[in-house]
Structure 1
Amino acid sequence: MKLIAGLGNPGQEYQRTRHNVGFDVIDRIARRWADPPGCPSRARFGGLTVDAMIDDQRTLLLKPTTFMNRSGASIAEAVRFFKLDPARDLLVIVDDIALSCGMIRIRTEGSAGGHNGLSDIEQALGDDGYTRCRIGVDAPGRIPQADYVLGRFTEQQQEQIEPALEDAVKAAACWVREGSIETMNKFNRKNSA
Protein backbone atom coordinates (compact mmCIF):
# COMPACT_ATOMS: atom_id res chain seq x y z
CA MET A 1 0.00 0.00 0.00
CA LYS A 2 1.22 3.47 -0.94
CA LEU A 3 -0.22 6.82 0.13
CA ILE A 4 -0.09 9.87 -2.14
CA ALA A 5 -1.35 13.05 -0.47
CA GLY A 6 -1.85 16.30 -2.33
CA LEU A 7 -1.99 19.47 -0.26
CA GLY A 8 -4.47 22.27 -0.83
CA ASN A 9 -7.46 24.04 0.64
CA PRO A 10 -11.04 22.77 0.38
CA GLY A 11 -13.76 24.86 -1.20
CA GLN A 12 -14.60 26.21 -4.61
CA GLU A 13 -12.93 29.58 -3.95
CA TYR A 14 -9.53 27.84 -3.73
CA GLN A 15 -9.84 25.69 -6.85
CA ARG A 16 -7.10 26.28 -9.43
CA THR A 17 -5.06 28.50 -7.08
CA ARG A 18 -1.31 28.19 -6.71
CA HIS A 19 -1.68 26.66 -3.24
CA ASN A 20 -3.91 23.89 -4.61
CA VAL A 21 -1.56 22.30 -7.14
CA GLY A 22 -1.35 19.24 -4.87
CA PHE A 23 -5.12 18.76 -5.12
CA ASP A 24 -4.91 19.26 -8.90
CA VAL A 25 -2.33 16.47 -9.25
CA ILE A 26 -4.37 14.09 -7.07
CA ASP A 27 -7.42 14.72 -9.29
CA ARG A 28 -5.38 13.89 -12.40
CA ILE A 29 -3.98 10.70 -10.84
CA ALA A 30 -7.51 9.66 -9.82
CA ARG A 31 -8.80 10.13 -13.37
CA ARG A 32 -6.13 7.73 -14.66
CA TRP A 33 -5.83 5.10 -11.94
CA ALA A 34 -8.96 5.14 -9.75
CA ASP A 35 -9.95 1.58 -8.84
CA PRO A 36 -12.64 0.98 -9.94
CA PRO A 37 -12.42 3.56 -12.74
CA GLY A 38 -14.54 6.64 -12.14
CA CYS A 39 -15.21 5.79 -8.49
CA PRO A 40 -16.17 8.84 -6.43
CA SER A 41 -14.07 10.11 -3.57
CA ARG A 42 -15.16 9.34 -0.04
CA ALA A 43 -14.63 11.11 3.26
CA ARG A 44 -11.99 9.38 5.39
CA PHE A 45 -9.03 10.40 7.54
CA GLY A 46 -10.08 14.05 7.65
CA GLY A 47 -9.99 14.26 3.89
CA LEU A 48 -11.29 12.95 0.60
CA THR A 49 -9.82 9.64 -0.58
CA VAL A 50 -9.84 7.62 -3.77
CA ASP A 51 -8.56 4.06 -4.02
CA ALA A 52 -6.22 3.65 -6.97
CA MET A 53 -4.24 0.88 -8.61
CA ILE A 54 -0.98 1.96 -10.24
CA ASP A 55 0.30 -1.11 -12.06
CA ASP A 56 -0.29 -3.78 -9.40
CA GLN A 57 0.30 -1.47 -6.43
CA ARG A 58 -2.66 -0.54 -4.26
CA THR A 59 -2.48 3.22 -3.65
CA LEU A 60 -4.61 5.57 -1.57
CA LEU A 61 -5.00 9.11 -2.91
CA LEU A 62 -5.72 11.67 -0.18
CA LYS A 63 -6.75 15.32 -0.27
CA PRO A 64 -6.87 16.55 3.35
CA THR A 65 -9.90 18.79 3.89
CA THR A 66 -8.40 20.30 7.04
CA PHE A 67 -6.97 23.28 5.15
CA MET A 68 -3.33 23.41 4.07
CA ASN A 69 -1.74 24.34 7.38
CA ARG A 70 -3.48 21.50 9.27
CA SER A 71 -2.80 18.67 6.80
CA GLY A 72 -0.64 16.69 9.21
CA ALA A 73 -3.41 15.11 11.29
CA SER A 74 -5.18 13.78 8.19
CA ILE A 75 -2.03 12.28 6.69
CA ALA A 76 -0.79 10.87 10.01
CA GLU A 77 -4.17 9.20 10.60
CA ALA A 78 -3.98 7.40 7.23
CA VAL A 79 -0.32 6.44 7.81
CA ARG A 80 -1.16 4.91 11.19
CA PHE A 81 -4.35 3.18 10.00
CA PHE A 82 -2.51 1.34 7.22
CA LYS A 83 0.69 0.90 9.30
CA LEU A 84 2.75 2.59 6.59
CA ASP A 85 6.42 3.48 6.76
CA PRO A 86 6.48 7.17 5.74
CA ALA A 87 10.03 6.87 4.39
CA ARG A 88 8.94 4.20 1.93
CA ASP A 89 5.18 4.57 1.54
CA LEU A 90 4.28 8.30 1.66
CA LEU A 91 4.48 10.88 -1.13
CA VAL A 92 3.26 14.44 -0.48
CA ILE A 93 2.60 16.78 -3.43
CA VAL A 94 2.84 20.49 -2.62
CA ASP A 95 3.37 23.97 -4.09
CA ASP A 96 6.74 25.71 -3.65
CA ILE A 97 7.37 29.45 -4.05
CA ALA A 98 11.14 28.85 -4.01
CA LEU A 99 10.97 27.04 -7.37
CA SER A 100 10.34 28.66 -10.74
CA CYS A 101 6.86 28.11 -12.09
CA GLY A 102 6.74 24.82 -13.95
CA MET A 103 9.65 23.15 -12.16
CA ILE A 104 9.21 20.06 -10.01
CA ARG A 105 11.64 18.77 -7.43
CA ILE A 106 11.52 15.41 -5.64
CA ARG A 107 13.12 15.13 -2.18
CA THR A 108 13.13 12.36 0.41
CA GLU A 109 13.79 14.45 3.49
CA GLY A 110 14.75 17.90 4.68
CA SER A 111 13.20 20.95 6.21
CA ALA A 112 9.73 22.19 5.43
CA GLY A 113 11.35 25.26 3.87
CA GLY A 114 8.84 27.59 5.49
CA HIS A 115 5.85 25.67 4.10
CA ASN A 116 3.29 25.45 6.92
CA GLY A 117 1.56 22.40 5.45
CA LEU A 118 4.82 20.44 5.40
CA SER A 119 5.69 21.67 8.91
CA ASP A 120 2.36 20.36 10.18
CA ILE A 121 2.95 16.96 8.55
CA GLU A 122 6.41 16.71 10.11
CA GLN A 123 4.98 17.59 13.51
CA ALA A 124 2.14 15.04 13.19
CA LEU A 125 4.46 12.26 11.99
CA GLY A 126 7.32 13.23 14.30
CA ASP A 127 9.67 12.91 11.33
CA ASP A 128 10.67 14.62 8.08
CA GLY A 129 11.70 11.37 6.38
CA TYR A 130 9.07 11.07 3.65
CA THR A 131 9.11 11.88 -0.06
CA ARG A 132 7.73 15.15 -1.34
CA CYS A 133 7.10 16.38 -4.84
CA ARG A 134 7.43 20.17 -4.84
CA ILE A 135 5.84 22.04 -7.73
CA GLY A 136 7.22 25.50 -8.46
CA VAL A 137 4.72 28.36 -8.51
CA ASP A 138 7.25 31.27 -8.55
CA ALA A 139 8.06 33.75 -5.80
CA PRO A 140 5.40 36.33 -4.95
CA GLY A 141 7.51 39.41 -5.65
CA ARG A 142 5.82 42.41 -4.03
CA ILE A 143 2.49 40.67 -3.45
CA PRO A 144 1.98 39.46 0.15
CA GLN A 145 2.79 35.75 0.21
CA ALA A 146 -0.63 34.60 1.48
CA ASP A 147 -2.42 36.60 -1.22
CA TYR A 148 -0.05 35.25 -3.86
CA VAL A 149 -0.39 31.54 -3.08
CA LEU A 150 -4.16 31.85 -2.70
CA GLY A 151 -4.35 33.61 -6.08
CA ARG A 152 -4.74 32.08 -9.51
CA PHE A 153 -1.98 31.65 -12.06
CA THR A 154 -1.35 34.33 -14.66
CA GLU A 155 -1.92 33.29 -18.27
CA GLN A 156 1.84 32.82 -18.76
CA GLN A 157 2.16 30.82 -15.53
CA GLN A 158 -0.80 28.64 -16.56
CA GLU A 159 1.11 27.67 -19.71
CA GLN A 160 4.11 26.76 -17.53
CA ILE A 161 2.21 24.91 -14.81
CA GLU A 162 0.21 22.54 -17.04
CA PRO A 163 3.26 20.48 -18.13
CA ALA A 164 4.52 20.50 -14.52
CA LEU A 165 1.25 19.02 -13.27
CA GLU A 166 1.55 16.25 -15.87
CA ASP A 167 5.21 15.68 -14.87
CA ALA A 168 4.09 15.42 -11.24
CA VAL A 169 1.53 12.75 -12.22
CA LYS A 170 4.27 10.82 -14.04
CA ALA A 171 6.65 11.29 -11.09
CA ALA A 172 4.02 9.96 -8.67
CA ALA A 173 3.51 6.86 -10.81
CA CYS A 174 7.29 6.39 -11.08
CA TRP A 175 7.58 6.70 -7.28
CA VAL A 176 4.96 3.97 -6.81
CA ARG A 177 6.64 1.67 -9.32
CA GLU A 178 10.34 2.36 -8.76
CA GLY A 179 10.78 4.24 -5.47
CA SER A 180 12.14 7.61 -4.44
CA ILE A 181 15.74 7.40 -5.65
CA GLU A 182 14.83 6.41 -9.21
CA THR A 183 12.12 9.08 -9.29
CA MET A 184 14.60 11.75 -8.15
CA ASN A 185 17.12 10.60 -10.76
CA LYS A 186 14.58 10.81 -13.57
CA PHE A 187 12.61 13.91 -12.67
CA ASN A 188 15.13 16.16 -10.91
CA ARG A 189 17.55 15.70 -13.80
CA LYS A 190 14.79 16.46 -16.33
CA ASN A 191 13.98 19.69 -14.49
CA SER A 192 17.58 20.89 -14.34
CA ALA A 193 18.05 20.62 -18.10
Structure 2
Amino acid sequence: MVLVVGLGNPGPHYAFTRHNVGFMFLDRLSSHWQREFNYLYSKIKIEDKDVKLVKPMTYMNLSGKIFDFIKIENYSGIIVVYDDLDLPLGKIRIRKKGSAGGHNGVKSIIHAIGEKFIRIRIGIGPKPEKEDVVHYVLSNFTDEELQILDKVLNVSIEALRVIISESVDKAMNKYNSFEVAK
Protein backbone atom coordinates (compact mmCIF):
# COMPACT_ATOMS: atom_id res chain seq x y z
CA MET A 1 0.00 0.00 0.00
CA VAL A 2 1.08 3.55 -0.76
CA LEU A 3 0.51 6.16 1.95
CA VAL A 4 0.07 9.77 0.79
CA VAL A 5 0.23 12.32 3.59
CA GLY A 6 -0.89 15.86 2.82
CA LEU A 7 0.25 18.53 5.25
CA GLY A 8 -1.97 21.32 6.47
CA ASN A 9 -3.85 22.68 9.44
CA PRO A 10 -7.35 21.50 10.41
CA GLY A 11 -10.36 23.77 10.49
CA PRO A 12 -12.20 26.12 8.13
CA HIS A 13 -10.05 29.11 9.12
CA TYR A 14 -7.03 27.49 7.42
CA ALA A 15 -8.80 25.81 4.51
CA PHE A 16 -7.52 28.07 1.71
CA THR A 17 -4.24 29.23 3.19
CA ARG A 18 -0.91 28.70 1.49
CA HIS A 19 0.16 26.30 4.25
CA ASN A 20 -2.75 23.98 3.38
CA VAL A 21 -1.88 22.97 -0.17
CA GLY A 22 -1.21 19.43 1.06
CA PHE A 23 -4.81 19.17 2.25
CA MET A 24 -6.08 20.80 -0.96
CA PHE A 25 -4.14 18.22 -2.98
CA LEU A 26 -5.75 15.34 -1.07
CA ASP A 27 -9.21 16.90 -1.41
CA ARG A 28 -8.73 16.78 -5.19
CA LEU A 29 -8.20 13.05 -4.92
CA SER A 30 -11.05 12.27 -2.53
CA SER A 31 -14.11 13.89 -1.03
CA HIS A 32 -14.91 10.99 1.31
CA TRP A 33 -13.05 11.28 4.62
CA GLN A 34 -13.21 9.13 7.73
CA ARG A 35 -11.76 9.97 11.14
CA GLU A 36 -9.37 7.73 13.01
CA PHE A 37 -7.30 8.77 16.03
CA ASN A 38 -5.71 12.11 15.15
CA TYR A 39 -6.12 12.01 11.38
CA LEU A 40 -8.61 11.82 8.54
CA TYR A 41 -8.16 9.17 5.88
CA SER A 42 -9.55 7.98 2.58
CA LYS A 43 -8.73 4.90 0.55
CA ILE A 44 -8.54 5.13 -3.23
CA LYS A 45 -7.01 3.21 -6.13
CA ILE A 46 -4.46 4.72 -8.48
CA GLU A 47 -3.35 2.55 -11.38
CA ASP A 48 -4.82 -0.52 -9.61
CA LYS A 49 -2.74 0.14 -6.48
CA ASP A 50 -4.25 0.70 -3.05
CA VAL A 51 -3.52 4.21 -1.84
CA LYS A 52 -4.35 5.55 1.60
CA LEU A 53 -4.66 9.33 1.82
CA VAL A 54 -4.01 10.88 5.24
CA LYS A 55 -4.63 14.36 6.65
CA PRO A 56 -2.99 14.82 10.08
CA MET A 57 -5.32 16.71 12.44
CA THR A 58 -2.43 17.58 14.77
CA TYR A 59 -1.68 20.98 13.20
CA MET A 60 1.31 21.42 10.93
CA ASN A 61 4.15 21.47 13.45
CA LEU A 62 3.15 18.07 14.90
CA SER A 63 2.45 16.25 11.62
CA GLY A 64 4.85 13.42 12.46
CA LYS A 65 2.68 12.42 15.43
CA ILE A 66 0.41 10.52 13.02
CA PHE A 67 3.08 7.82 12.91
CA ASP A 68 2.29 7.13 16.57
CA PHE A 69 -1.02 5.80 15.21
CA ILE A 70 -0.21 4.63 11.68
CA LYS A 71 2.21 1.77 11.62
CA ILE A 72 3.89 1.12 8.30
CA GLU A 73 6.81 -1.21 7.63
CA ASN A 74 8.22 0.34 4.47
CA TYR A 75 8.70 4.10 4.80
CA SER A 76 9.75 4.31 1.15
CA GLY A 77 6.05 3.79 0.37
CA ILE A 78 5.23 7.17 1.94
CA ILE A 79 4.67 10.26 -0.18
CA VAL A 80 4.33 13.61 1.63
CA VAL A 81 2.74 16.57 -0.16
CA TYR A 82 3.28 20.06 1.22
CA ASP A 83 3.82 23.75 0.51
CA ASP A 84 7.27 25.14 -0.27
CA LEU A 85 7.99 28.82 0.29
CA ASP A 86 11.25 28.59 -1.66
CA LEU A 87 9.50 27.50 -4.87
CA PRO A 88 7.50 30.00 -6.88
CA LEU A 89 3.78 29.47 -7.28
CA GLY A 90 3.35 27.40 -10.45
CA LYS A 91 6.21 24.97 -9.79
CA ILE A 92 6.49 21.61 -8.07
CA ARG A 93 9.55 19.64 -6.97
CA ILE A 94 9.68 15.92 -6.37
CA ARG A 95 12.42 14.39 -4.22
CA LYS A 96 13.19 10.88 -2.96
CA LYS A 97 14.48 12.10 0.40
CA GLY A 98 16.13 15.11 1.97
CA SER A 99 16.06 17.62 4.76
CA ALA A 100 13.10 19.62 6.06
CA GLY A 101 14.30 22.81 4.39
CA GLY A 102 12.88 24.86 7.26
CA HIS A 103 9.37 23.35 7.00
CA ASN A 104 8.21 22.46 10.52
CA GLY A 105 5.67 19.87 9.39
CA VAL A 106 8.35 18.00 7.44
CA LYS A 107 10.75 18.36 10.41
CA SER A 108 8.17 16.62 12.57
CA ILE A 109 7.81 13.76 10.08
CA ILE A 110 11.60 13.38 9.77
CA HIS A 111 11.82 13.24 13.56
CA ALA A 112 9.21 10.44 13.55
CA ILE A 113 10.40 8.26 10.64
CA GLY A 114 13.64 9.65 9.18
CA GLU A 115 14.36 11.32 5.81
CA LYS A 116 13.63 8.46 3.41
CA PHE A 117 10.19 9.32 2.08
CA ILE A 118 9.13 10.83 -1.22
CA ARG A 119 8.17 14.49 -1.27
CA ILE A 120 5.96 16.47 -3.62
CA ARG A 121 6.67 20.10 -2.81
CA ILE A 122 4.19 22.63 -4.20
CA GLY A 123 5.48 26.18 -4.62
CA ILE A 124 3.73 29.00 -2.77
CA GLY A 125 6.45 31.65 -3.09
CA PRO A 126 7.92 34.05 -3.34
CA LYS A 127 7.02 35.70 -0.04
CA PRO A 128 6.81 39.49 -0.28
CA GLU A 129 10.06 40.95 0.99
CA LYS A 130 8.82 42.64 4.17
CA GLU A 131 6.12 40.17 5.11
CA ASP A 132 6.47 37.84 8.10
CA VAL A 133 6.80 34.16 7.10
CA VAL A 134 4.09 32.92 9.48
CA HIS A 135 1.63 35.59 8.34
CA TYR A 136 2.35 34.80 4.70
CA VAL A 137 1.93 31.01 4.89
CA LEU A 138 -1.25 31.39 6.95
CA SER A 139 -2.78 33.91 4.55
CA ASN A 140 -5.30 32.97 1.87
CA PHE A 141 -4.46 32.76 -1.81
CA THR A 142 -5.76 35.55 -4.01
CA ASP A 143 -8.27 34.69 -6.74
CA GLU A 144 -5.52 34.95 -9.36
CA GLU A 145 -3.23 32.68 -7.33
CA LEU A 146 -6.06 30.15 -6.89
CA GLN A 147 -6.34 29.88 -10.68
CA ILE A 148 -2.65 29.01 -10.89
CA LEU A 149 -2.91 26.66 -7.91
CA ASP A 150 -5.82 24.86 -9.58
CA LYS A 151 -3.52 23.96 -12.49
CA VAL A 152 -0.62 23.10 -10.18
CA LEU A 153 -2.76 20.68 -8.17
CA ASN A 154 -3.82 18.92 -11.37
CA VAL A 155 -0.20 18.59 -12.49
CA SER A 156 0.78 17.37 -9.02
CA ILE A 157 -1.84 14.62 -9.25
CA GLU A 158 -0.43 13.61 -12.65
CA ALA A 159 3.01 13.47 -11.01
CA LEU A 160 1.66 11.27 -8.20
CA ARG A 161 0.22 8.88 -10.79
CA VAL A 162 3.63 8.64 -12.48
CA ILE A 163 5.35 8.00 -9.14
CA ILE A 164 2.92 5.21 -8.31
CA SER A 165 2.62 3.61 -11.75
CA GLU A 166 6.18 4.08 -13.04
CA SER A 167 8.83 5.55 -10.74
CA VAL A 168 9.81 8.56 -8.72
CA ASP A 169 12.77 9.10 -11.08
CA LYS A 170 10.48 9.33 -14.10
CA ALA A 171 8.23 11.80 -12.25
CA MET A 172 11.24 13.91 -11.22
CA ASN A 173 12.51 14.03 -14.82
CA LYS A 174 9.12 14.98 -16.18
CA TYR A 175 7.80 17.45 -13.56
CA ASN A 176 10.73 19.09 -11.74
CA SER A 177 11.31 21.51 -14.61
CA PHE A 178 7.62 21.97 -15.32
CA GLU A 179 6.07 25.38 -14.69
CA VAL A 180 2.38 26.19 -14.91
CA ALA A 181 1.82 29.15 -17.24
CA LYS A 182 0.53 32.16 -15.40
TM, length-normalised to structure 1? 0.87
Instruction: Tell me which protein shows more helix as a share of its residues.
Output: 1
Q: Which moved more, 1:8-17 or 1:42-51?
A: 42-51
Aligned residue for 2:54? 62
Equivalence map 1:93-108=2 (5 Å): 93-108=81-96
Aligned residue for 1:128? 115
CA distance in 2, matches of 1:94, 1:143: 21
Distance 1:45 1:53, change over 3 A: farther
CA distance in 2, matches of 1:128, 1:77: 19
Cα RMSD over matched residues? 1.7
Structure 2: 5+ residue runs without aligned partners?
none
Q: Which of residues 79, 93, 96 is equivalent to 1:91?
A: 79
Structure 2 residue 36 is matched with structure 1 residue 48: no
Structure 1: 5+ residue runs without aligned partners?
32-39
Instruction: Tell me which protein shows more strand as a share of its residues.
Output: 2
Aligned residue for 2:144? 156
Identity of aligned residues (%): 37
| Superimposed CA distance per residue, residues 61-120 of structure 1 (whole angstroms, 9 cap, x where no aligned partner) | 001000011010114632x2x42x122x01000000000011100011111000000000
Q: Which moved more, 1:177-186 or 1:46-55?
A: 177-186
Structure 2 residue 76 is matched with structure 1 residue 77: no
Pairwise CA distance, 1:15: 0.6
Distance 1:76 1:136, change over 3 A: farther
